[in-house]
Amino acid sequence: MPEPTTFPRLLLAHADARPDAPALREKYLGIWQTWTWRETATEVREVAAGLASLGFKRGDNLAIIGDNRPQLYMAFASAQCLGGVAVPMYQDAVADEMTYVLDNAEIKFAIVEDQEQVDKLLEAREKAPVEHIIFDDPRGLRNYSAPGLQSLEALRALGRDYMAKHPSFIDAEIEKGKTTDVSVMLYTSGTTGKPKGVCQTHEAFITAAQGGVAFDHLVGTDNVLSYLPMAWVGDHLFSYAQWLVAGFTVNCPESGDTVMIDLREIGPTYYFAPPRIFEGMLTNVMIRMEDASKLKRWLFDKFMAVAKRSGAKILDGEAVSFGDRVKYALGNVFVFGPLKNTLGLSRIRVAYTAGAAIGPDLFRFYRSIGINLKQLYGQTETCAYVTLQPDRQIKFDSVGKAAPSVEVKLAENGEVLVRGPMVLKEYYKRPDATAESIDQEGYFHTGDAGVFDGDGHLKIIDRAKDVGRLANDAMFAPNYIENKLKFFSHIKEAVCFGHGKDAVMAFINIDLTAVGNWAERRNIVYSGYIDLAGKPEVYELIRECVEKCNAELATEGELAHSQIARFLVLHKELDPDDDELTRTRKVRRGFIQEKYGPLVDALFSGKQMQHIETQVKFEDGRTGSIAADIKIAEAKRFPAVTKAAA
C-alpha cells in the first residue's frame, strides 16, 4: 500500500490492520452503537460512490452540518476519497449566516444531520447554489419533496449500485489523492468582518496530528468524547485528524443535553474542552458542595487543602513529604477519586484546554486532583497547532513551547509569527488576504501579541490589533483584562473599553447559574436574568470581583495603569444570534461598542444610570426588544506596585 499521506489512505490502513477494532461510537436512544474500522471504511466508500453518482467530483466542496455524528465524520472522508473538500459549518448558525458560506464556497452538495438543518438549507438555497441535500435523520422529513433532497441511506444505495458498475473507481480516486491537496476548508469566526475560508491540506492536518499524537503518546486504545462544533478547528484536529492518525475511538454523545452523562459513561482517556467547560464543571462542584452535609464539606475542605499544597507536585513527579503523600492518597479515596468519577474524568491521561485564557486557580484545581490538564495554542490557520505544554513543564501563565515541526518567533511589535507544514495553503478566493497573512519567509502572522519567558515558554497577551494605549500612554490590552474578569465564576463574559481614554470601563455579563445559586442562598428573590443583573447585591458581588482584578493588575507592570474605573452589568447575555459574539464565542468588540453606544458614552461621561432599548433575535426567528435602566458603578483602583513589593 502507498504511504498513508491522505486521510482516506489512513482510514484504509486502519481498516486493513485492525478491522474489528471500534472506530466510532454514538449513543442513540440510550444505547451505544459501534462502528468498527471495517464498517467505517465500507460506509465511507458507499457514500463517496453515491456522491460520485450525483456528479460530485475532484475539487468540489461538500458542506457538512450537524451535531457530532459518526455519519458526518465519515462524510469528511467520503468527500476526500473523491478529491473533494469538506466544509463543516456551525450547526447553530441561522440560514442567513449559512447562505454566505454556501455561496462563498460554491457549495452544490451538502450532507446534514436532520430536519432543522434541511429547513435552513432549503431557505438558504434561494440565494446559494445548493443542489443536493442529503440528510441522516429522517424524522419529520417524510412529506418533504424538494428537488435534490434524499436520505443518506438512499445515497448509500446509489453508491453500492455505482460500485457494482465501477468496481475500481473509488480505489482509483483515492490513489489520485496527493498530500498537498486541500482536505478541508474551515471558516474563520469573522470577529471583524465576513468569515474567510481557510484551506488546509492533508499534509497540514496530518503533520499537526502526528506531532500531537507522538507528543502525548496517544494510541489506538484511547477514547475521546466528541461534542464541540465540527466546524471548529480544535474538533477537526482532535476528533478527525488525530483519530485517523492514532486510530483511537471517537464517541459522539446522544445530544448536547446529555454530554455530561455520556462523559461519565465513556470515561475518556483523552479530553479537550475550552475554559468555559472546565469553569462550568467547577461551578457545579462548588454548588453541590454548598448543598452537602457538614461532614462532606469538612472532608472536601480538608483534603482540598492537601491537594492544593501537594497534588500538582505529585502529578509532576516532584518531591513531596511522606505525610502529604499519605494524606493525598486518603484524599484520593474519599474526595478526589469520587469527584473525578462524577465529572467523568477518572480515566483521563491527558486533558487540554485552549481558545481563551484559563484562570490560574481553575488550572491549579484540576491539576491538584490529579488531572493532567495542559494548555495549547493555535489558530484555524495553523490547524490549532503552534505550542504545547510538555509534561512536568506546566506553567499557568504560558501556552507552552513550540510544538514539533513548528517554528515560532516574535516580530518587532511583539506579534507572534509561526512557520511550519501546518500553516494554511490559502484563504479561499482571497489571494490578497493570503499574501497579507503569510510573509516572504513563510511565516504566518497570527495577529496575537506575545512574549517568551526565560524558559522559552510563550505567553499570549492579547490580539495585536486590540492592544492600544490609554490617554496617558499606558498599555491597554482589553482581552487580557476580560480574561482576568472571566476567571471569576460569577462573571460569564466581559467587554472592556479604554483605547485613547483616561480610564478603562467594562461591560459585565453575570453567570446566571452561579449568581442565581448565590442569590437563592441569600434569599434574594428575582424573576429572571434582567431582574437579577440589576440587584444592588449583585452589583456589590461583581464590584468585589472587579476590584480583585484591579489588585492583580496593580502588580503587572505597565498594565497596572489599565485598572477598571467604572463598570455596568448588562441587562442581557451577549449572544451569537445577536451578532455580539462569534459562533466560537469571541467578543465582537467593535460591534458591541456601536450597538451599545449610549452605555459606552454613559460610562465615560460619569453618569450613574442609563436607559437602553436593545433589539434581540429569538430562537424561532422573530425579533423584539428589551429595555432596562442600567446602573453604573465605580470600582476601587490600586497604586502600581512591583512584583517583589506585592
Task: State the SS3 of 27-60.
Answer: EECCEEEEEEHHHHHHHHHHHHHHHHHCCCCCCC
**Which of 106-110, 246-250, 478-482 has the least mean pLDDT?**
478-482
Query: In the prediction, which pLDDT does 232 show?
Result: 94
Instruction: Report yes or no: 273 and 280 within 8 Å, Cβ to Cβ.
Output: no
Q: Read off the DSSP letter of residue 211.
A: H
Within its chain, how far is the Cα of 466 from the centroid? 21
620: CATH: 3.30.300.30
Query: In the prediction, which pLDDT does 635 show?
Result: 96
Residue 582: Cβ-neighbour burial (10 angstroms; 0-12, 13-18, 19+): middle
In this prediction, residue 298 has a pLDDT band, given cuts at 50, 70 and 90, of very high
Residue that is last in its domain, among 272, 304, 331: 272
Query: In the prediction, which pLDDT does 619 show?
Result: 64
Residue 407 has pLDDT above 70, yes or no: yes
Owning domain of residue 184: 7-272
Express as a percent the part of the chain with pLDDT over 90.
75
Sequence-distant (6+) residues with CB within 8 A of 222 are: 246, 248, 249, 268, 269, 270, 349
Q: How many separate domains does the chain show?
A: 2
Q: How many CB atoms lie within 10 A of CB 423?
A: 22
Question: Is residue 107 included in any domain, yes or no?
Answer: yes
Q: What angle do CA 248, 254, 255 make, to 5 degrees?
A: 115
Average of pLDDT values for 217-240? 95
Question: Is residue 419 included in any domain, yes or no?
Answer: no
Q: Which residue has the cell 470515561?
A: 267
Query: In the prediction, which pLDDT does 2 show?
Result: 40
Residue 640 has pLDDT above 90, yes or no: no
In this prediction, residue 642 has a pLDDT band, given cuts at 50, 70 and 90, of low
C-alpha dihedral (404, 406, 407, 408), degrees to nearest 10 = -100
Q: Which residue has the cell 443535553?
A: 257
99: CATH: 3.40.50.12780
Average of pLDDT values for 137-154? 95
Residue that is last in its domain, among 272, 307, 328: 272
In this prediction, residue 284 has a pLDDT band, given cuts at 50, 70 and 90, of confident
Instruction: Report yes or no: 12 and 27 within 8 Å, Cβ to Cβ.
Output: no
Average of pLDDT values for 491-515? 94
DSSP one-letter string for 410-466: E-TTSEEEEESTTS-SEETT-HHHHHHHB-TTS-EEEEEEEEE-TTS-EEEEEETTT
Instruction: Report yes or no: 410 and 416 within 8 Å, Cβ to Cβ.
Output: yes
Instruction: Report yes or no: 635 and 541 within 8 Å, Cβ to Cβ.
Output: no
Query: In the prediction, which pLDDT does 97 show?
Result: 87
Query: In the prediction, which pLDDT does 170 show?
Result: 97
Max mean pLDDT among 440-449, 557-566, 619-628 falls in 440-449
For the whole model, what pTM was predicted?
Answer: 0.83
In this prediction, residue 1 has a pLDDT band, given cuts at 50, 70 and 90, of very low
* Nearest-angstrom CA–CA distance, 391 and 631: 47
Query: In the prediction, which pLDDT does 137 show?
Result: 95
Residue that is last in its domain, among 272, 289, 319: 272
Express as a percent the part of the chain with pLDDT over 70.
97
Question: Is residue 293 included in any domain, yes or no?
Answer: no
Question: Is residue 573 included in any domain, yes or no?
Answer: yes
Average of pLDDT values for 361-383? 93
Residue 644 has pLDDT above 50, yes or no: no
Question: Is residue 151 included in any domain, yes or no?
Answer: yes
Question: Is residue 238 included in any domain, yes or no?
Answer: yes
Q: Which residue has the cell 442569590?
A: 519
Question: Is residue 288 included in any domain, yes or no?
Answer: no
**Pick from 67, 19, 492: nearest CA to 262:** 67
pLDDT digits (tens, 9 = 90+) for 565-620: 999 999 999 988 888 988 777 888 889 999 999 999 999 999 999 999 988 877 66
Within its chain, how far is the Cα of 201 from the centroid? 21
